[in-house]
Amino acid sequence: MQSLQEKASAWSGVDQADAFAIDEFNLFEKLGLQSFINLSTNFYTRVYDDEEEWFRSMFSNSKKEDAIQNQYEFFVQRMGGPPLYSQRKGHPALIGRHRPFPVTHEAAERWLQHMQNAIDESVDIDQDSKVKMMNFFRHTAFFLVAGNELKNQNQNQNNQVACKHAANKPAEEE
């Protein structure tokens, strides 16, 4: 069975080494806090204004300013800065915290399109860092798609086992 990271690489087209090239130097020290705040603000402005209701509605239980803070604090922590996210919210637990959301291939692509547009508009981030960050984002988005499919597998298995109406009956083939 393919691992989460193998699926992420296969689906994103970004191999593990390129995805984590963000660790080759300290992006937080290079770019500074404000660059990350600006990027997440631009990104979520696009997301909350998305014309596609199926995508926009996934974020409707969070306030935009909270979404922005959660994201830039995670980026800062993961890219060499102080652990702002964990101090406030604990482990990132990316798959666990995305559990309520249908992170499909289509949702990953739409998330990435908004992020590509936000990155393209950024005047704070140099070209090399933009490439590294987009590789990280692309791999991570499909890592979460892989995590989402794991959830569906578990639920299907559990339905077969746990349905009380089918007690002691052999599982039916469908």
Q: Which residues contact 103 (CB under 8 A, 6 or more apart)?
A: 141, 144, 145, 147, 148
Q: Structure tokens of 134?
A: 């987009």
The nearer residue to a second copy, 38 or 148, going by C-beta atoms, is 148
Cβ atoms within 10 Å of 170's Cβ, excluding its own: 6
Q: Report if residue 96 touches a second copy, rule: CB under 8 A.
A: yes
The nearer residue to a second copy, 21 or 55, going by C-beta atoms, is 21
Among 30, 89, 116, 149, binds a second copy (CB under 8 A): 89
Among 10, 93, 131, 171, binds a second copy (CB under 8 A): 93
Among 2, 52, 101, 166, binds a second copy (CB under 8 A): 166
The nearer residue to a second copy, 118 or 145, going by C-beta atoms, is 145
**Measured distance CA(124)–CA(122) in Å, rounded:** 5
Q: Vertex 148, ends 41 and 164: CA angle to 5°?
A: 135
The length of the chain, given as a count of residues: 174
Q: Report if residue 155 touches a second copy, rule: CB under 8 A.
A: yes
Q: Report if residue 2 touches a second copy, rule: CB under 8 A.
A: no
Among 3, 60, 127, 168, binds a second copy (CB under 8 A): 3
Residue whose C-alpha is closest to residue 138's, from 4, 1, 18, 3: 18
Q: Report if residue 87 touches a second copy, rule: CB under 8 A.
A: yes
Stretch that binds a second copy, among 30-38, 103-111, 122-130, 135-143 (CB under 8 A): 135-143
Is residue 107 within 8 A of residue 98, CB to CB? The reply is no
Residue 171 Rama label (left phi>0; alpha psi -120 to 50; beta): beta
Binding site for a second copy (CB under 8 A): 3-5, 8, 16-17, 19-20, 23, 82-83, 86-97, 99, 139-140, 143, 147, 150-151, 154-155, 158-159, 162-166
